[in-house]
Copies of this chain bind each other. A is one copy, B any other.
Amino acid sequence: MTIRYPNGKKFQNKRILSHKKNDKNKDERFSNRGMSLEEDINVTNEYYRSHHIAIIHKKPTPLQIVNVNYPKRSAAVVTEAYFKKPSTTDYNGVYKGRYIDFEAKETKNKTSFPLKNFHDHQITHMKEVISHHGFAFALLRFSLLDEVYLLKAEDLFSFYDEQDKKRKSIPKREIESCGYLIPIGFHPRIDYLKTIDKILSVE
């Protein structure tokens, strides 16, 4: 059941994946296992919104709609649509007047983060955001270790742009040294804005 973009990269339907996980592996003893990164971030963003901290939303999955049926007296049904390659990152919004933009990815690897998780378009988009003084970054989860790191986009670029010459993944020790481990909590679950506060206070 692998979905691929036209360029051969895998499409991760996080909603479907997370349902599978919930069915098979849900174990309440472990804090976040069984919850997809996307779900955790959505809950975090809703916490930020309802507590008047920031307005950050996930963008809908981009689909090319080809066919729509209009049954009488009920909702329109899209009966044919295709996944499009995203031209931006998944999340953006506003925090203290500042434009925030990020991508969230997870891996089951324990020692490195595969760069194939990112698309060229997303990297280009993040570079553009930075050139217009937005704040762009990636949230990287090592799902089997239950660790989430914030990696500034500038640091991600240096690995992404060198992957043909060097390696196709970012070693975890590099992420530990140039990224920021985000403590996992309950409310909010992944408090990435607290980490951004720290970064911005130093800059």
Contacts and interface: CB of A to CB of B under 8 A. Distances in A.
Given A60-B63, A97-B133, 11 more contacts: A3-B68, A55-B125, A55-B128, A57-B88, A60-B60, A60-B62, A63-B63, A77-B80, A77-B82, A78-B82, A97-B134
A80 B79 CA distance: 5
B54 A81 contact: no
A83 B93 CA distance: 23
Nearest to A132: B94
Contacts of A54: 132
Contact of A65 (B55, B61, B79, B93): B61
Interface residues of A, number: 51
A76 B81 CA distance: 9
Main secondary structure of the interface of A (DSSP, over half): mixed
A94 B4 CA distance: 30
A12 to B, nearest CB: 12
Contacts of A77: 80-82
Interface string A42-78: 0000000100101101011111010010100001111
A118 interface: no
A143 B13 CA distance: 39
A103 interface: no
13 contacts: A3-B75, A3-B76, A4-B75, A16-B68, A54-B132, A60-B63, A61-B65, A63-B81, A78-B78, A81-B81, A94-B99, A94-B101, A94-B129
